[in-house]
Structure 1
């Protein structure tokens, strides 16, 4: 087992690509993600997921051959990458999300396990697995590779057939490109499992590998929350959060009670009660510099329009010409619909 902390230490010493190369076409398990900083963890995820190291010079100043690899890697630590990022006040990037796929291990039935296979407690089953794995290991992988190379072309065609069947049966029709990329990883693993079953190596029933892997995909998708692009989810979440936190404190009422002498500090716009719910009229600079802080505001505008959170102008512009309370002239502003506070 290679700890994530020690892996990072060696990566920073220009040796991380060597560890990845040694695990080429194999599984690399990363442990204790919380031992390193969010920035460093993100670097490791990109490096492992991209499948190649950086160009290095040899002692003779000649460029070394760039190390490349093809592997499956996972983090089995207690903290996920998104948790580490959130604690540091940063966000997981889309590229990291599709490279390090986060799946919770708790099935809520027997903890880590869904079936105890005759054991009374999960701890007993776990001990049995640990003890047995110290005695029997490596046999299945060798047998798998031996069968694989006997008819590699036939195996490739079989995997393609299985994978296409999985795509047609399980891939959601509205999945974004990022979700499809993650799904393809799961589909390939499921196909490899089915191939091993057909080779007579696993002892599983047909489609048992598919069922288990697709359950993991659904777990990931449920945790993610939707089928859209990661950037869209981040943008909508940040905008919604601003209105949830400041709807009362930083938006003046459209029709203020004449006896209400309170003032709205750091006002960013107005809120208006309608039959459909509360609409928000937001000053341009407040939206672009504060609500969209850290984001590309033209992108956020289009996402909000597409999801019916923002009402565009007659010509499709994101801002509208509105006469705000206390003003004789119209001004350009953003008009958010009651949908902005919806789930």
Structure 2
């Protein structure tokens, strides 16, 4: 008799008998049993759950034991063995789904989908970047909440944000130099809490925030400017602390229902395309109204992220999930976007602001000590002035008169090597010069080049970068 042709019921009986004589009988009776079948109803795996006594800290313990119907590689014999199914694993109740092929299916990670949205949804930044790969993959097509960004190593936080935002982990090689296991991928929105922004945390390790990092992890200050911290109103509570404690206690007991109701409504047959069109229309309207026409691509990406949350909130309201008034989700997302823009300093490109900030910092810090004075009209140095150590260039002060009024202008002449190798080290010099010329900070030459040909005191004629300090230092 071939074992694989054993009737369904008989095969399950053998699985239960196998459990009774196995090493897991010490755990007693299973608290839960899931039976995985193929599309024809044949049992493939029985997953047992055993609830054990709490540990010393009072934390409940449990053990999962997968028992799989599989073939032995040595003698091709079929039998139940204590091991899990290989990837890709079949869905639970696959035989029922096979009979109803047109029914929408919602996939939720693990058997604990019933507690989706509970306190355990919040994960910690106190993990290696490798561990965060697995955490992100486990939350794919969902929400990942990471608590306290300050607990992550500031040396790797930037690369970790890139990884989470890009939706793919590291590619690793095996001992033969070939591609090892499959690269993990995910698609999710992730939130983070913390007392510091990403830029402040990276600065502790002398790391510089890149624009790509900033648009992947948007910094929204937790201050509603109402004198109540994060909250705009107290809803009958004595103070913000009482409201916070009440919310914390209630969400630890009641959670998950709105999310499941939203997913169930989305899967209603024949309506998904209409819902997608509603989300797309709301998203486009949000970004158009929230940003000026001159907004940079970085601001557009950020607004799209806020707009997606707003569109989902308005759709959930229309489906009767939230109980909010119409337009509340849009208003809330707009408040968060405006707060991000104010924290960032506008809707322009972060790279341009970073270029100006770096140049301004150099002038403010070294304007006196590392620039040789050039006060006369002729290209002569002041022999009585102190010598300039580690020179960046020259500083020329000119007095101008218009009628009865006088004003002074200061122009900085940066040497080409210091401009490239020190002031803007690590930056694309072509982009730097283009940005500064466009803002009127860098005075180009008559032939359109960023550097002018100037004879400096005590030096032959050469190309230097001429910076208008009045424009640079103005608000």
Fold match, TM over 0.5? yes
The correspondence for 1:269, drawn from 383, 388, 393, is 393
CA displacement 1:31-52 (0-9 Å, x = unmatched): 2322232232223212211112
* 1:162-177 matched pairs, under 5 angstroms: 162-177=282-297
Residue number in structure 2 paired with 1:3: 124
For the pair shown, the structure with the greater C-alpha radius of gyration is 2
- The separation in 2 between residues aligned to 1:294 and 1:164, in whole angstroms, is 36
Residue number in structure 1 paired with 2:281: 161
Residue 125 (structure 1) aligned with residue 257 (structure 2): no
Tell me the SS of whatever aligns to 2:443. coil
The answer as to whether partners of 2:215 and 2:298 remain within 8 angstroms in 1 is yes
The answer as to whether partners of 1:30 and 1:77 remain within 8 angstroms in 2 is no
Residue number in structure 2 paired with 1:40: 156
Residue 312 (structure 1) aligned with residue 444 (structure 2): yes
- The separation in 1 between residues aligned to 2:255 and 2:151, in whole angstroms, is 29
The answer as to whether partners of 1:49 and 1:99 remain within 8 angstroms in 2 is yes
44 and 282 in structure 1: CA distance in 2 versus 1, 3 angstrom threshold? closer
* 1:168-317 matched pairs, under 5 angstroms: 168-255=288-375, 260-274=384-398, 275=400, 277-317=409-449
The correspondence for 2:261, drawn from 143, 148, 151, is 143
Q: TM-score, normalised by structure 2?
A: 0.66
Tell me the SS of whatever aligns to 1:38. coil
CA drift of 1:326 comes to 4.9
Q: TM-score, normalised by structure 1?
A: 0.90
Residue 82 (structure 1) aligned with residue 199 (structure 2): yes
- The separation in 1 between residues aligned to 2:342 and 2:272, in whole angstroms, is 36
Tell me the SS of whatever aligns to 1:28. strand
Q: Any unmatched runs of 5+ in structure 1?
A: none
Residue 331 (structure 1) aligned with residue 451 (structure 2): no
Q: Any unmatched runs of 5+ in structure 2?
A: 1-121, 401-407
The CA RMSD over aligned residues, in Å, is 2.3
CA displacement 1:202-236 (0-9 Å, x = unmatched): 12111111111111111111111132222222221
66 and 117 in structure 1: CA distance in 2 versus 1, 3 angstrom threshold? same
Residue number in structure 1 paired with 2:43: none
- The separation in 2 between residues aligned to 1:277 and 1:210, in whole angstroms, is 48
Bigger mean CA deviation after superposition, 107-116 or 46-55: 46-55
Structure with more of its chain in helix, by fraction: 1
